[in-house]
A and B are shown apart, each in its own frame.
Chain A
Amino acid sequence: MRAFDPRRLRTPTRFVPALLGGVLLVHFVVPFAAFLSQTGTSNVVAGLSAPPARSAIRNSLLTAPVATLFSTLFGVPLAYALARTSVRGKRLIEGVVVLPLVVPPVVGGAMLLTAVGRFTPLGRAALAAGLPLTDSLAGVILAQTFVAGPFVVVTARAGFGAVDERLERASRSLGYGPLATFWNVSLPLARGAIVAGVVLTFARAVGEFGATMMVAYNPRTIPTRIWVEFIAGGIDAIVPLALALLAITVVVVTTVQRLGHLPTVVDG
């Protein structure tokens, strides 16, 4: 047996992490490749032209952007407040923000049902007003926002945290109030992180299945339709819709990222 050679020790410093990371990479790539290899055997165009598939695509395209918009509209101010204030109970609020990430989506959906289901006061009132909160597009949006909203909050919060508070103070001393300072300084400087959060939220919302299934099994979105077709026809049946979902996500993610990186903005 050869003597132990210390010179060979230098390679493992890079080799070991690469090897371990590679195992996980393989685990990501292999199913992906295997699934895509199935696509040749099914007729994607025919699958997508079927009316149920088209309405699922339309529903997903209607709901996921709205859920993303709500999450951003309310989540970015929340992220800023969490990054800048130090109130008592802030830990608790942070816990609440990540709660939907910790709870399994299907349980989250059940929780939503207990809050806004058609036999709850809120659900009944909404139904009476002609806006049912379950088994409706509104229900889908509620489920998607519940599950996907935390992503934009957590990411934007990190982005605001990285903005030096003195830049905001300088803006105040130059004559701008808190809101104008947020708009002129904090928001543009945290833009990279916010865009990343928006992208994650959209990707999660458009693919949301567990909570959506509980709150609004109908009308079908792409993920719930995929489930229905899988039960009926197995893997081959879901290939067209799965590809459509993938395509939507890729297109939206790349577009938003490109829009978010205007040349005047320094990467956050």
Chain B
Amino acid sequence: MTLEVSGLTHRYGSKTAVEDVSFSLADGEIVGLLGPSGCGKTTIVQAIAGHLRPAAGRILLRGEDVTRQPPERRRASVVFQEPTLYPHMTVGENVAYGLEAREIERSRIDELVETHLELISLASRRDAYPAELSGGQKRRVELARALAPEPDVLLLDEPLSALDRSLREELRRAIGRIQRETGVTTLFVTHDQADAMALADRLVVMNEGAIAGVDTPRALYESPPTPFVASFLGRSNAVEATVVEPEPLVLAVGEQTLTLPEARSDRPAGASVSCHVRPADLTLAESDGTDTAPTLSGAVSHVTDRGSRYDVSVTLPTDETVVVERQAEPPPAGTTVTVRVPAAKVTRFGADTAGK
């Protein structure tokens, strides 16, 4: 493992920022550390970089415990959310800065600066000052400066957040390409699930200072381990239900029942479960009722035109609202409709895990 974080815990005063977080990065891997603002992502990055001494836990870089080492003794480069290029140095001097800290010959430094400026397609701006660059160019130079000393791990702390959308996607592609070309082990921190899913080999999803799930983006999306992951990665509908019969599974949603013939539950009858299903997996049933899929009825409360599709909000008799995606012209608000719930697409969480 190139990077191992084990049992990391940190508090600010009495407030716990990170609680017993463990994960690791294999050599050459790009992992997304994903979670809402304030979930402790930046605390983790600072602990890995050495800018913060954690209350408990260990950081290992290439097997060596660096928890008590200062930042300059770790080979961990950081790219921050806000640009940190040195305004009093040229682009070339900025990229050379990290190389000059090591015992490298001048001619070799020049070579490495050239290589890394070519990597970010900015070799022609070597003598420019950061103030002369555009926002996207500055970000790329920072990337080059972070990569030039060949760090063990590259830490990207929300590098795209301060950029507008088109620039963001362009830079996202650039980061992906550069990471593939250099093979640098990368931890990519973001609160944006689209950025994370587009770039990362694996995701570490954080919520309130703890890990909510670790897996490949697709696995987390398709079978979320916790309700938080289900709702944070893409859109999700949550419906509270009660187990009527564990096998074959029959659930009660208010007065209605939902039979999931293929499924069984290890929860006894009477237990509460939270059911999650994606809006794209739900359909509005035709009224003839010939199909056998489980259904729930409700009334259309609201329709949002998304351009390529409609989001139809259906309020169930339990007052819960589910969103159904639909391409065709939707029924008007107030219409009573039947929502088809494909049994295989329903993820259930027991009451005991629902809170996590």
Contacts and interface: CB of A to CB of B under 8 A. Distances in A.
Interface of A: 164, 166-167, 169-177, 180, 184-185, 188-189, 264-266
B97 interface: yes
Contact of A169 (B71, B101, B129): B71
Given A265-B88, A266-B87, A174 B145 contact: yes
A50 to B, nearest CB: 48
Interface of A is mostly: helix
Contacts of B84: 164, 166-167, 169-170
A169 B70 contact: no
A68 B51 CA distance: 35
Given A173-B71, A176-B72, A266 B80 contact: no
A172 B70 contact: yes
B51 A169 contact: yes
Nearest to B51: A169
A264 B88 contact: yes
A173 B78 CA distance: 7
B224 interface: no
Interface in B64-105: 70-72, 74, 76-78, 80, 82, 84, 86-88, 97-98, 101-102
B102 A175 contact: yes
B80 A170 contact: yes
B280 interface: no
A172 B88 contact: no
Interface of B is mostly: loop
A238 to B, nearest CB: 45
B87 A177 contact: no
A26 B149 CA distance: 60
Contact of A173 (B72, B87, B129): B72
Given A175-B101, A175-B149, 17 more contacts: A167-B84, A169-B84, A170-B84, A171-B97, A172-B50, A172-B51, A172-B70, A172-B71, A173-B50, A173-B76, A173-B77, A173-B78, A177-B72, A189-B86, A189-B87, A264-B88, A266-B131
B273 interface: no
B253 interface: no
A267 to B, nearest CB: 10
A169 B87 contact: no
Nearest to B102: A175
B214 interface: no
B155 to A, nearest CB: 8
Given A188-B88, A266-B88, A174 B80 contact: no
Contacts of B314: none
Contacts of B129: 266
Most buried by B among A169, A174, A176: A174
Contacts of A185: 86
B229 interface: no
Contacts of A173: 49-51, 71-72, 74, 76-78
A206 B124 CA distance: 50
Given A167-B84, A264-B88, A174 B70 contact: no
